């Protein structure tokens, strides 16, 4: 990416996903669709992922990105959107550690090329 510095901080997630796709990579987009309690990123926050597990943007303060990338790789293969839920009442959340005590729902979809 020529604008890698910008890309790290800026919210141009879809632009980067589009560039990845143009270069022939499989890509997926994760979007926060619901939050309860204290969660680090509001609804609408997005994370782009490519087949090399490179990320752009975020859906949390870094707590659940690992699990989301794993789902993104599955979605890239079968093209079936997934809805992931993370929260203190959820065992996965303990596993990945959503330390803020919030709950978050994430929609993961592939970019169909």
Partner 1 sequence: MRDEVLKKILRAQGRKIPIALITRLADGSQAIMDRKKSIDGDMTFNPQEVEEVLTCIRDDKSRSLSGGEYFVRVFNPKLRMIVVGAVHIAQALAPMAELANFEVTIVDPRGSFASDARFPGVKLMDEWPDEALIKLAPDTRTAVVTLTHDPKLDDPALEEALKTDAFYIASLGSRKTHSKRLERLREAGFNENTLKRINGPAGLDIGAISPSEIAISILAELTAVLHQKDLR
Sheet arrangement for strand 55-57: 55-57, 46-50, 27-36, 103-110, 82-86
Taking the C-alpha atoms of residue 68 and residue 78, their distance in angstroms, rounded to an integer, is: 15
Select from 34, 77, 85, 95 the one that contacts partner 1 (CB under 8 A): 34
Which of 36, 33, 93 lies closest to 63, judged by CA?
93
For residue 30, state whether it binds partner 1 (rule: CB under 8 A): no
Select from 1, 25, 33, 100 the one that contacts partner 1 (CB under 8 A): 33
For residue 13, state whether it binds partner 1 (rule: CB under 8 A): no
Residue length of the chain = 113
Q: Which is nearer to partner 1, 44 or 89 (CB)?
A: 44
Q: Which two tokens stand for residue 96?
A: 């990945």
Residues 50-109 that bind partner 1 (CB under 8 A): 81, 83, 107, 109
Query: What spatial distance separates the first Cα and last Cα of the chain, rounded to whole Å?
Result: 20
Please choose, out of 25-33, 53-61, 65-73, 89-97, the segment that lies near partner 1 by the rule CB under 8 A. Answer: 25-33
Q: Which is nearer to partner 1, 22 or 52 (CB)?
A: 22
Q: Which is nearer to partner 1, 23 or 94 (CB)?
A: 23
């Amino acid at each position: 990416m020529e604008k890698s510095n910008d890309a790290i901080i800026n919210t141009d997630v879809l632009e980067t996903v589009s560039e990845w796709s143009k270069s022939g990579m499989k890509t997926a987009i994760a979007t926060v669709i619901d939050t309860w309690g204290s969660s680090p990123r509001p609804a609408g926050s997005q994370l782009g992922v490519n087949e090399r597990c490179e990320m752009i943007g975020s859906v949390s303060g870094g707590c659940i990105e690992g699990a989301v990338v794993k789902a993104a790789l599955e979605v890239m293969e079968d093209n079936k959107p997934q809805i992931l839920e993370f929260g203190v009442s959820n065992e996965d959340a303990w596993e990945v550690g959503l330390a803020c005590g919030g709950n978050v729902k994430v929609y993961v979809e592939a970019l169909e090329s």
